[in-house]
Structure formats: structure tokens, C-alpha cells
Amino acid sequence: MQAMNLRLLCSIQFQTILLLLVVLLHIKTLSVSGISIATSTYVGGNETDHQALLAFKRQITRDPENVFSSWNDSLHFCKWEGVTCGRKHRRVIVLDLGTKGLVGSLSPYIGNLSFIREIMLANNTIGGKIPDEVGRLFRLQVLWLSNNSFQGEIPANLSHCSNIKILRVGGNNLSGSIPKELASLSKLEFLALRTNNLRGGIPPFIGNFSSLQVLSASYNVFGGHIPDALGQLRSLNLLDLSYNKLSGLIPLSFYNLSSITDLNLSRNNLKGKIPAFIGNLSALQFLYVSYNALEGHIPDTLGQLRSLNLLGLSGNKLSGLIPPSLYNLSSITDFYLYKNKLSGSLPTNLFLTLPHLQWFLIFENQFTGSLPISLSNASELQNFIVYMNNFTGKISVNFGGLHRLEELLIEDNNLGSGDEDEMNFFQSLVNCSSLRKINLSGNQLKGTLPNVLGNLSTQLTYFVIDENLLFGEIPIGMGNLVNLTTLRMSGNKFSGTIPDDITGLQKLQRLYLHSNRLSGRLPITLGNLTSLNELHLGSNKLQGTIPPSIKNCQNLLELYLSQNNLSGIIPRQLFAISSLTIGLDLSQNFFVGSLPFEVGNLVHLGLLDLSENKLSGKIPSSLASCTSLEYLYVEGNLFQGEIPKSLSSLRGIQVMDLSRNNFSSQIPNFLEKLSLKNLNLSFNDFQGEVPTKGVFANASTISLIGNSRLCGGISELKLPRCLTKEEKKIKWPFALKVVISMACVILVITIVSFFLFYWRKNKRNDNSSESSLNQSFLRVSYQMLLKATNGFSLANLIGVGSFGSVYKGILGEDRSIVAIKVLNIQRQGASRSFISECEALKNIRHRNLVKIITCCSSVDFRGNDFRALVYEFMPNGSLENWLHMDLETNIMQVEIRNLTILQRTNIAIDVACALDYLHHHCPMPVVHCDIKPSNILFDCDMIAHVGDFGLAKFLLRPTNSKESSSIGIRGTIGYTPPEYGLGSEVSIKGDVYSYGILLLEMITGKRPINSVFEGGLNLHNYASMALPDGVMEVVDPKLLNNVDEVLGNHNGSLANKIKECLISMVKVGVACSMELPQERWDISKAISELHLVRDIILGARI
């Protein structure tokens, strides 16, 4: 029995070993043949999921981060990057490929992932429609598709995804309305629809989503009223409906939003009053209702919002007092009530009860009373801007503790008490080490400036205190303010001498000390102010001579020294300042001697006023070289001799006053050929016949009184008749004279009639075309523009393009500074093209576009056609200057400094908003075609404006092949999209490409034509390859230097936020400059992303 059992056991063991050998041999065979057991059988897996993932991969056309390198048969699909499977059934439950730079579309096979719970594909460039098959995923809880390029409507059958909690589709190009079928998504907690093109109303059924915590629908085109049903969302934390077209009232049902922390309804068309119940929303931290049409009083109940950090009510029609309860919101940091009709006074303890205020902006209201003394305690305050109100009284604030204060702008009020210690507050300003701007002008401040002025912050660039009642001497020490660019102290009663140390301000561009009581000599070191553009010292009691060192002020545009007691000869060195273009006024002084021959060096000068001095000798013939001269005043001197014949070259002269001198000889005939509007030759010793043409044809434009030996002229002058040589010869019979005269008159009438007939016939079309134009614009003449630009001088030239040149000019009686583009009219039909361009451009208005003011259609002095466009002047130059700081080519003499990351972000947003307007909000879509740094101009507040000097292309507009226009230019090398080089028509995607290159240039500091870009490498690839980890290596070093200064000893968290912002901006630039037009973002998406970046920057106070 035992032997039998032993044999049976041996037999079983043998069979087991044999079976094991067969299995091992089979495995080896499979291994040798290259087949993986895991991938061939997917033990525990599902082939449906496998195929669905492969189909998803096939629809992705670009994978810059090589995400799909692991998506092959060497690994089970559960181990592929971005894929997560369940442990038990090995089915896909999560697909997370957000922020991978993917380009393509979303495969319909995504609907076969029947076990999936989360789809997260945000921050890519996946386009096309959202597949309807997504509606089959009944287990889906998270659908995150934000910041892509999805188009079309939101699929209605998403309603089948009944378990969905998070639906984020913001930052796409979705259109249509919110499908009513989505009402079944009862478990929804997070709904983000921002930055799309969604229309219609906000559906009331959203109010049934009882678990909803976030509803973000800003930057769409939603209209109608806000539904009352939203008030049922008791779990809602954030409601953002800003930047839409919503109207009506704020719903009363919002009373029930007990969990709301962030309520943003700004930039809509809401009206009515701010509901009092908002004060019961105790969790509220951010309240934005700015720029609506809200009116009435601010409800007192807002003072119950103890957690409020930001209150934004600006840009409405609110009136009345600020409720006292608001001053108890101790957590508030940002207080924005500017541009309303609010009144009343500020409580004295305001900044004690609001200790954390950083931004206090209430300008352009009707506030009265004094500035609160508790301002002394605002230790966290950065900006105090209250100008254009009616504040009065003494400034009794101790600013010593305000170390973060940057801007103190309190101009155009009625501050001042007349007390002896009125100006003592300046002592405390010394401790404000971050101070950059002070403006106290247009008040009633009285007293002397303390000697501590020179100890103010060295960061100070702007010090304005004009039009007050200040007296005493200007304190010494101001030379310590080394970054000062503007110093304005005019319109006061300052006495004493001009401190010598002011001439040490190397960056000073504007010095206004006129209309005071200053005496003494001009500083001999005046020439040290080499950056000076504008020097106004008139209406004082200055004595002595003009120092020769003034020749070093080679950037001077205007010099006004009138109404002083200056004496001696006019130094020749003064006329070595070739930059003088606007004006040189030495009138009402005691200068003697002759006018130096070197005056002819001022070839671009527009105004020369030497009146009421004791100058003598002859007018130098070299004055004729001042061909841009428009106003010449030399009255009240001792000049003698004849008017030089060379002055006939002053073709732009408009006013000439030579009265009360000792000029003699005959009045030269060339004066009647000049463009004079007023000529005063009175009280001299002119003799002979007076001309009758030009300015002499109108008695009201000339003055000849006090010249007893003149004769002739027009009858209105009532001068004696001149006896000519002909009259002394044989006289013809009277009858013959009558016959000859009548024949001549008939002949002249006949010739003139024929001329007028043909002239009217040729000009009829032009007149009819230009009539509508003249009704739309302020009329300006060629002579006005010639005057405004100093004869279109090179000194006024600020830009040259393919279709014309742009000049800086001073226009009108108010001396407005403008930019004038003179078109190069050389082709047939250019006149008609000019009219059509003006008709189109006059309807384009946006805060980020350079404004067209008027135009001119005329002829020049040679009889040639003349066409020009007049634009608003941008005083802070172009982005080209600021990015590359080429000071030698800085024509406009703008102070250039490094742009901070916040400034660059703001500029990027400004330019993008301008393009968004041109592309989507004009009556006819406009393609700019030449977006580049030199076309981005800055106003005085550094707001970016896109220059539109006739270089745009109007889409959907019929083209006349016979017409030629400056519209339709293809752009500039480096910024022009590649498809234009292949003959494609211009499109808004072309502008987006140029914008992307511009943005990358702003971040990297490299021009697209930089020498490093060769062998297939360009700026786009250069930036793309750096994403994300290498971005800091390609960022502009000047920007990094600026960031390092800001960081100081801050912790790494701030540094990470800055890096995150830079990475996001580079991604926007790369996404906008894709090679294929269809892969580029829409400009509105770029705006959305950049707003997020700016929010991070502002949140971190970078």
C-alpha cells in the first residue's frame, strides 16, 4: 500500500514538473517572438479604454513636452502619463494632461471611457467643438477644459453627466447660450464660463444648483436682467458676472447669499441703487460694482461687512455722504470711490478705524472739509489720490510713518489756512522713502517752504506745487533729488535767487519758476541741466546777463525769460542751441547791442520774441535761415536800416511786429507774398508806395501809423496817392482811357469766367467728397500745420513710414501738442483714398488707440496736393524706446527707465484690448497689419496706445482696383505672420501673431531680428523651447534686475509667483505666435490670461 502511494506521489510530481516546463517554454517562446504578456492580454484591463486613449492621442497634432512618449505598447495604458486607473477593475478613471502645451482637437472616442470621473485638459490649445459623446460619461465628476480654443456651443447632452460637480470651460471661444438641458446637473459645485462669447441671458435654473460654490461668467456678452433665482444659491462663495451687458437692478433675492465672499458685478449696465441687504452678506470680502449706472446713496448697512477687504464703487453716479459705518471696516485694504458725485467730509479718525488701507482713491468727487489728521497713522498706505475735490483747511498730517507712500496727489482743491506753520507737514514727508510723486498745485497753501525739501525721497520724480500763495526763498538742497524730472513752482510769490544746486539735477526735463518774484542773476552753471526741455523763468525780477554755459542745454525746446531785468548783450552761445523749436522769448528786458548773426542757427525755431529791449543795429540777413519761424516780435527796440530782402524765405511767417523802431527805406514787395496774418510796421520811417496784395489787402491785418512818408496802398488806409512816372508823361484823352478800361474789364471778366467754369467742373467731385469730411472734423489748413511743425522741420520729425512722415506739432490757440502724419501723395486716386480712410478711421475710438483729431486736405505753397492726419500726441514715446533704451535715437527726449513686470503686463493688456476692439467691436473688423514696439505709444500715465496711422486693413470692404491707399500694409519683418509671405490675405490671426512676437520681445528683451536667430531658430522657438523650466534663462536681464530689487529679502513664495507670472506670459506669447493661424489663440483669450497674471502680481504687490 505504501509503495502504491509512493508511486502515485511520484507520478503527480512528475506531471507537475512537466507542466511547469511546458509553461516556461511557452513563455520563453513568446518572449523570443517579442510579444509582451502584459500588453497582449491586458489582464484586468479593458480594450475599449485602450482604443479610446489611442484615438485621443491621434487627434493631438502637437506635443511639445513629449507627453505621449509613454503612450505605447511597452507599458500598460494605466501607466501612461496623465492616466489613472481604478485598482480593482483597471479602468481609466482620471485623464489629467493640463498645461502640457497640447494642440489639436478632442476625439469623440473620449465618450468610450465609461468609468472616467475626471477629465482635466486645461491650459492647452485644444480646439474644435466639445464632442457630444462626452454626454455618455455618466460617472464624470470633473470636466476641466479652461483656457483652450474650443468653439461652438456647450453640448446640451452634458445634461446626462448627472454626477458632474466641476464644469470649467472658461477661456475658450464658445458661443451661443447656456443650454437649458443643463438644468439637470443638480450636483454642480463649480461652474466657470468666463472669457467666452456666450450670449443670451443667464438661465434661472442655475439657481437650483444648491451645491454651487463658484459661478464665474465674466467677459462674455450676457444680457438681460440677473435672474432672481440666483439668490437661492446659499452655498455660493464667488459670483463674478463682470464685463457683460447685464442690465436692470441688483436682485433682491441676493439677500440669501449667506456664504458669498466675492461679488463682482462691475462693467455692466446695472442701474438703480445699491441694495441695503448687501450689508447682511457677512462673509463678503470683495465687493466690485464699479462702472455701472448705479445712483443714490451708499447704504449704511455696508458697514456690517466686517470681513471686507476691497470696496469698489467707482465710476457710478453715487451721491450723498459716505456712511459713517464704512469707516469701521477695519479689514479693508482697497477703497475705490472715485468718479462719483459723493460729498461731505472725511472723519478725523478715518485711518485709525481703517488701519490696513493701501489704496485710497476718491478723486473727482465733491468732498469738502479738511484732510483727516489720522492719515498720519496709515502706515500701510501706498496711494493717496484725492484731487479735484473741494477739500479745505490746513494740512495737519504727520506723514512720517507712511514709509510705503508712493503717490500723494491732492491738487485742485482749496487746501490752506494761512497759519504760520502751514507748510510744516513737509518735515514729515522726509521719512516717506518710497515717495515718487507729489502734486499740491491749485490750492491756497501759504507760507515758506522748509529747508528739508532736499531730504525728500531720492525716488521722487515729480514735484509740483504751482498756483499757490507760497513766498520766501526756494530752499537749497533740492539738488539732492537726483531723479527729479519735473519741478514746477510757478504762480507763487517766491523771492530771492534761484538756488545753484538746482542746476545739478541731471535728469530734470521741465523747470517752471515763472510768475514769481525771483531776483539775482541766472546761475552760471545753468548749462549743467543737459536734459532740460522746457525752461520757464519769465515774470520775475532776474538781473544780469544770460550765462554762456546755456549752450550746453542742447535738448532745450523752449526758453522763456520775458519780463525780467536782464541786461547786456545777447550771448552768441544762446544761438548754438539748435534744439530750440517751440519758442525763444527774451522780451521786456534791457538787452543792448545788435542781434547776433548766429540767430540763423535756429533753423527750427517757431517763435522769436525780442520786443521791448534796447537792441540796435540792423536785422541780420541770417534770420532768413530760420525758415520755420511763424512769430517774430522785435517791436520797441532801436533797430534801423531796411528790412533784409533775404527774409522773403520766411514762407511760414504769420505774425511780424517791427513797430516802434527806426526802420527806413521802402516797404519791400516780398512781404505781400508771405503767409502773414498780421503785420505791424507802425512808428518807423518807411517811405514810398505801400503794396496792395497779400496781407496789405486787408486794412485790419496791418498797421502803418507813424510813417509819414508813405503813400498809396488800399483806400481804407487813407494814405496820399503816389505820383508815378507815367503820370508825369503825356496824358491820354479821357474818352480813350474809358474805352481802353472797359475793354480790359470785359477781357478780364471773360477769361476769369472760362477759368472758373473749367475749374468748377474739375473740382466738383472732390468738393462733394470732402463736404462730409469737413462736417466731421475740425478744419485745419496747410499753413496751420506748417506752423505747428516749424515748417515740417527735422527737429519735429518723430517717425517715417512707407506712406508718410509723422511730425510733432503745436496746434491751435491752446497750443495743444499733436502728432501730424503727412501722407506721400504720388499715385492716381490718392485723394479719394485719403477721404475714404478718414471716413473709416473717424469712427474708431478706444482708450488704447491713438486718437485721430482731424485731417487736412489742401495744397502746399508749390500748388501740390497736401494730405495729412492729425493725431493725439503721446508724450512718453514708444515701447521700442522703453524696451531697448537706445537713447541716441530717443527723438522725443523721454526719460527711459526699466519697465517693471507690472508695467509690462499692463502694456500687454492695453495692446491686446486695442486689438480686441479692432477685431471684434468695430462696425467693420479692422486688421492693424503692423503691430510692433515702435507703433505702441505711451501717454503721460504710461497707458499704451496702438498707433493707427492709416496702416490698417478693413475687412469685408469692397476694393477698387483703381484706388491706392495706405491701408493694407503687410507689416514689418520679424512681426509679419508667415502666411503673408505665402500670399494669404490679411486676417485678425495675423495681428495675433504679431502680438505674440511683441509680447515675447517684451519678456525676453530680444528683437525678432536679433542676430542670434539664425539657422531656423526664431523668437517663437527660442521662447517655446524654454518652457517651462528654462523661462528665467531667457527673460530680459533688465527685467530680472528690476525683480531682484523688488524681492529684496522676501521669501521664496514671492519669487515663485513672479516665475509663475513670467511663465504664463511666455505661454501666451508662444500661443499667439503659432505658425499655423488656426492654432493661434483669439486675442480675447490672451486678455483673460494676462488679467490672471496681473491679478497675481497685484495680489503679491510686486
Give the domain 44-267 fold.
Answer: 3.80.10
d(CA 686, CA 669): 13
pLDDT digits (tens, 9 = 90+) for 206-251: 999 999 999 999 999 999 999 999 999 999 999 999 999 999 999 9
Confidence check: pLDDT of 202 > 70: yes
User: Which three-class secondary structure state does DSSP give residue 239?
Assistant: strand
The answer, yes or no, to whether the previous bond of 1028 is cis (omega within 30 of 0) is yes
Domain spans of the chain?
A: 44-267, 545-721, 796-873, 881-1102
Confidence check: pLDDT of 87 > 80: yes
Q: Which CATH superfamily is domain 796-873 in?
A: Phosphorylase Kinase; domain 1 (3.30.200.20)
pLDDT digits (tens, 9 = 90+) for 316-371: 999 999 999 999 999 999 999 999 999 999 999 999 999 999 999 999 999 999 99
pLDDT digits (tens, 9 = 90+) for 943-952: 999 886 455 5
Report whether 304 contacts 330 (CB < 8 A). no
Mean pLDDT of the chain: 86
- Which ranges of 275-407 does DSSP label H, i.e. alpha helix? 350-353
Task: Report the pLDDT value the prediction gives residue 36, as an integer from 0 to 100.
Answer: 35
One-letter identity of residue 360: F
Task: Report the pLDDT value the prediction gives residue 40, as an integer from 0 to 100.
Answer: 38
Ligand-binding site membership of 821 (annotated): yes
> Quick one: cell of 710?
508813405
Beta partners for residue 457, in sequence order? none
The residues assigned a catalytic role are 930
Confidence check: pLDDT of 116 > 90: yes
Report whether 461 contacts 437 (CB < 8 A). yes
d(CA 52, CA 61): 17
- First CA to last CA across the chain, in angstroms? 93
Task: Report the pLDDT value the prediction gives residue 1037, as an integer from 0 to 100.
Answer: 83
Nearest to 653, CA basis, from 786, 808, 809, 819:
786
d(CA 892, CA 879): 12
pLDDT digits (tens, 9 = 90+) for 603-634: 999 999 999 999 999 999 999 999 999 999 99
Cα 636 to Cα 609, 613, 663, 1027, distances in angstroms: 11, 6, 12, 72
User: Same CATH topology for 44-267 and 545-721?
Assistant: yes
Least confident of 68-72, 103-107, 630-634, 858-862: 858-862
The sign of the torsion formed by the CA atoms of 150, 156, 161, 165 equals positive
The DSSP element (H or E) to which 568 belongs, if any, is strand 565-569
The DSSP element (H or E) to which 511 belongs, if any, is strand 510-512
Task: Report the pLDDT value the prediction gives residue 999, as an integer from 0 to 100.
Answer: 94
pLDDT-derived band at 963 (thresholds 50, 70, 90) equals: very low
Beta partners for residue 678, in sequence order? 655
Confidence check: pLDDT of 892 > 70: no
Nearest to 778, CA basis, from 680, 859, 869, 710:
869
Above pLDDT 90, what percent of the chain?
A: 64
Strands 865-872, 816-823: pairing is antiparallel
What is the DSSP code string of 114-135?
A: TT--EEE--SSEEEEEPPGGGG
Report whether 875 contacts 808 (CB < 8 A). no
Confidence check: pLDDT of 275 > 60: yes
Strands 293-296, 269-272: pairing is parallel
Task: Report the pLDDT value the prediction gives residue 763, as an integer from 0 to 100.
Answer: 44
Confidence check: pLDDT of 825 > 80: no
> Quick one: cell of 968?
493694407
Cα 508 to Cα 139, 540, 555, 624, 656, distances in angstroms: 68, 21, 11, 33, 34
Above pLDDT 70, what percent of the chain?
A: 84
Confidence check: pLDDT of 311 > 90: yes
Least confident of 121-135, 458-472, 843-857, 1068-1082: 843-857
Confidence check: pLDDT of 955 > 90: no
Nearest to 299, CA basis, from 291, 289, 307:
289
d(CA 946, CA 964): 23
One-letter identity of residue 329: L
Task: Report the pLDDT value the prediction gives residue 790, as an integer from 0 to 100.
Answer: 87
- One of 3.40.30.10, 1.10.510.10, 3.90.1150.10, 1.10.150.240 is the CATH number of 881-1102, namely 1.10.510.10
Q: Which CATH superfamily is domain 545-721 in?
A: Ribonuclease Inhibitor (3.80.10.10)
DSSP letter (8 states) at residue 310? E
Confidence check: pLDDT of 962 > 50: no
d(CA 494, CA 514): 10
Report whether 620 contacts 602 (CB < 8 A). no
> Quick one: cell of 978?
508667415
d(CA 784, CA 779): 10
Beta partners for residue 926, in sequence order? 954
Longest dimension (CA), the chain: 178
Among 597-601, 770-774, 945-949, the range with the most confident prediction by mean pLDDT is 597-601
* 1072 φ/ψ angles, rounded to the nearest 5 degrees: -80, -20
d(CA 205, CA 207): 5
> Quick one: cell of 465?
506745487
Specify the pTM.
0.59
The DSSP element (H or E) to which 734 belongs, if any, is helix 734-776
